[in-house]
Amino acid sequence: MSSRPTESEMSIGQPRSATQCILPDSKVKALAREWLAEDCASFDFGGMVVGNKTAKAQLLCKSPGVLAGVPFFDAVFRELGCIVTWHYHEGDSFVNDKHNKFQRVKIATVCGPIKNILLGERPALNVLSRSSGVATQCKKYIARAKEKGWKGRIAGTRKTTPGFRLVEKYSLVVGGADTHRYDLASMVMLKDNHIWSTGSIENSVKKVLSLASFTTKVEVECQNIDEGLEAAAAGAHVVMFDNQMPEELKRSAKRLKEIYPQVIIECSGGVDEQNIEEYFGDDIDVISTSKLVQAYPCVDFSLKILKDSISD
């Protein structure tokens, strides 16, 4: 378990790392407002029961995982006039003890009106558990790469939850994975439908190169080495071999690199935690998998009001 920093090391309500600074504050704030509005669209009868007394609540981590989603958790409670004091840093890992059991960890303290703490409880926990789930999943995949000495990048995909992409992409960063492209403008990816619609890989690549900025990379999804060579010859910056078996993939990557060493080679399709090691190779630069943003188990958190902290 990570060592605990003192509260003086943790700035309340402000970015605490370079990673957190990549997030646009206005967007995070807007998301927090949307989540709160979704969960309480009209009346909060539970809030009437507890009232406006001030209290503290403890955020507890109840399962192993990597802490991620701190800025979003903060934003929810900032909207409600509550203060969050973190006792651990984002990116810290919490693991089972020597008996393979998990001991609950006090992650943070939330202070404010009871009704507002409870109003933010579910949206904040939902985001934190999912964000931490993505980061935890990333750490597992990256650990495999380090164990085998593979130097490439493991990346997420654009197969994110609609409306939740910023959180999931940010969580990839916290977990140490590559975000891949954020949206359609981040990089041009020409897939089978693009190629069929224009007649050939060469036509597709040349057309997009005539329109896109010099700052924009072009990636082409290829099914075999012949398509990969055509894409590279046409000027593609990245060749992605899709759904190739590991041995065929390594042969294709080796041949392509011999002719076009500057081209980035990515593989995707069918990669998961059980088989990812089979795809590691010296000529493979990127392994992308939707499992990082589609198949992550959530980390279990809860928020508990401290009875002795309640005051008028």
Measured CA to CA, the distance from residue 266 to residue 260 in angstroms comes to 14
**Residue 27 appears among annotated catalytic residues:** no
Identified catalytic residue from 29, 140, 159, 206: 159
Residues with active-site annotation: 159
